[in-house]
Amino acid sequence: MYTLAGLAAVFVAAGAASLRSKKIGLNFADMLIGIVILGAGLVVGGIILHAIVRAPFLWENRQVFSQAPLVFLRATFGGMVFYGGLFGALAAMPIYAKFIKRDLADIVRLAVPVFPLAHAIMRLGCFAAGCCYGIVHDTLGIAFARSASAPNGIPFLPVQLIESAMNLLIFAVIWQFTKKERRPVHILCLYGLSYAVGRFALEFLRGDEIRGMVFFLSTSQFISVLVVIVCVAALIVDRKKGGKMPPLRSSNS
């Protein structure tokens, strides 16, 4: 189910983006290239951050993997962290824009609005797999029976479903916001701020112990704080510069 949810997320997000692709002159081939390049960035970034988050735990338990290298590789690279995937996809955008010879602003306006839609679907896969589970809650909790990630038989708050709903709301807001021509920095910051604030709050409802910690914050809370700072700074700089939004391009260059 986790894999199926990931595939569904890619194709549903691509389908939503295609509804606006004609506005900037992207053809079907360009969309497929985008799926490959941005998808690769997402996977690589997600795996790298997962390995970084898991590093302290693996270092403390390194003796377990001394005789089982495949177990070590699976534990290190066998998962993804969303923020890493997001940054990986964002880093892949300039590559995608250059490859199909388009303005980066066009790619931002096309891809960023559907990121939360894809994320909402992927969180359903997390719920099915039992990973990223919530705190113990006797009233609203759901117990897993055959999960390889969450302890079975314990009622955990389905924070994955809550985050999925949050992402759908963010998608609806950004989709409506981008019906008009918007500056790329405004699109990125609207998404970054709305998700970072929501994710920071949801982390208090998480119960899994492999999220990693930075000082007194979870890894995702720490990154959320950085995202808010960067977005606010970007909006201040953009306001002071008062630059004009690049025009949408109607055909390939």
CB 48 within 8 A of CB 81: no
Tell me the H-state helices in 61-158. Answer: 69-77, 82-99, 104-111, 115-129
Q: What does the alpha-carbon distance between residue 167 and residue 161 come to, in Å, rounded to a whole number?
A: 10
Backbone phi and psi for residue 155, each to the nearest 5 degrees, phi listed first: -75, 110
Query: Ramachandran region of residue 191, left (φ > 0), alpha (ψ -120 to 50) or beta?
Result: alpha
Q: What does the alpha-carbon distance between residue 151 and residue 147 come to, in Å, rounded to a whole number?
A: 7
pLDDT in tens, the chain (253 residues): 888 998 999 999 999 999 988 888 888 899 999 999 999 999 999 999 988 887 777 777 666 666 566 666 666 666 788 999 999 999 999 999 999 999 999 999 999 999 999 999 999 999 999 999 999 999 999 999 988 889 999 999 999 999 999 999 999 999 999 999 899 999 999 999 999 999 999 999 999 877 788 888 999 999 999 999 999 999 999 998 875 545 444 333 3
> Which tokens go with 143?
């117990």
Q: Tell me the pairing of strands 155-156 and 217-218.
A: unpaired
